[in-house]
Amino acid sequence: MPRPPEPEKRLALARDAVAVLQRDGVDVPIAQLADALGVKRPTLLYHFPSRSHIVECALEELLVEQWRFVTERVERESHPIDRLYAQVRAVHEFHEGHEARLVFLTQALAATAGPRLTEIVERAAAVFESARRGNAERIRQGIRDGIVAPCDADAVVQLVRAVTDGLVLQRVTDRAALAPVHEALWRHLLFPLKTHSQRGRTECV
C-alpha cells in the first residue's frame, strides 16, 4: 500500500533542505543531506526524487506566499495604475531583507533541474503571463474609460516587471535602495499615466 501524502512534512523538509543546500552547495550528496536533516535517505527520496524537486517545492511555496501577500495589497486599489504600483512595492516589501533566498532558489533550480527545467519554467511563465495580461487589460480598459492616458499597455507592464525583478537582484548584489527607485518609477512613468481627473493621489507615494 503506498504511503499517504504528507504535505506539511514535505514542505518542512524542503525548507530545511534548502537551508542546507544554500550552506553546503547544491551538489551535496543526498545521503549527507538526509543526515543533516535528521531523516533516512529513503525517506528524503520518497518526498523528493532529486535535489531539483526540493528546490522546486521550496520555490513554489515562496511564490504562493508572495502571491497572497501581493494580492492583498493590490486589491486595496481600484485604479489600474495604482494597482500596478502597489504590486511593485508589495513584491519588494515581501522579499525585503530576504532577496538572497529567492535568487538562490532560482539559480539552484537552473543548476539542478536538467531536462525538467524547460517544463518548470514554462509552467511558471504561464502563471505570471496570465497576471501580466490582466494588468495590461486593466490599463487598456482604463484608457477606454478615460482614466489612463493613451499608452502601450503591454510595454508599461513589461517595463514595470523589469524594474520589479531587477531591483530584487540588485538588492542581493549591491543592496540597492528601494525608495529612490520607487519614487522615480512613480513620478516619471506611472503617475503621468493617470489622467488629470484621476490625480487626486499624491504625486509621490
Residue 203 above 80 pLDDT?
Answer: no
What's the whole-model pTM score? 0.86
| Mean pLDDT of the region 128-145 | 94
Angle at 133 between CA 202 and CA 186, to 5 degrees: 20
pLDDT grade for 79, boundaries at 50, 70 and 90: very high
55 shares a domain with 44: no
Give the long-range contacts of residues 149-157, CB within 8 A, separation 24 or more. 149/192, 149/193, 149/194, 149/195, 151/193, 156/84, 156/189, 156/193, 157/84, 157/132
Radius of gyration in angstroms for the set of CA atoms belonging to the chain, rounded to a whole number:
20
27 shares a domain with 99: no
114 shares a domain with 174: yes
64 shares a domain with 141: yes
131 shares a domain with 120: yes
190 occurs within a structural domain = yes
> How far is it, in rounded angstroms, from Cα 5 to Cα 151?
49
pLDDT for residue 204: 44
191 shares a domain with 93: yes
Structurally, the chain folds into a number of domains equal to 2
162 shares a domain with 137: yes
203 occurs within a structural domain = no
pLDDT for residue 124: 77
44 shares a domain with 80: no
Encode pLDDT of 42-75 as tens digits. Answer: 999 999 999 999 999 999 899 889 999 999 999 9
100 shares a domain with 192: yes
160 occurs within a structural domain = yes
CATH classification at residue 120 = 1.10.357.10
Which residue range is the domain that position 37 belongs to?
A: 1-49
Residues present in the chain in total: 205
| Mean pLDDT of the region 147-174 | 96
Domain termination site, one of 9, 33, 49:
49
171 shares a domain with 120: yes
204 occurs within a structural domain = no
192 shares a domain with 115: yes
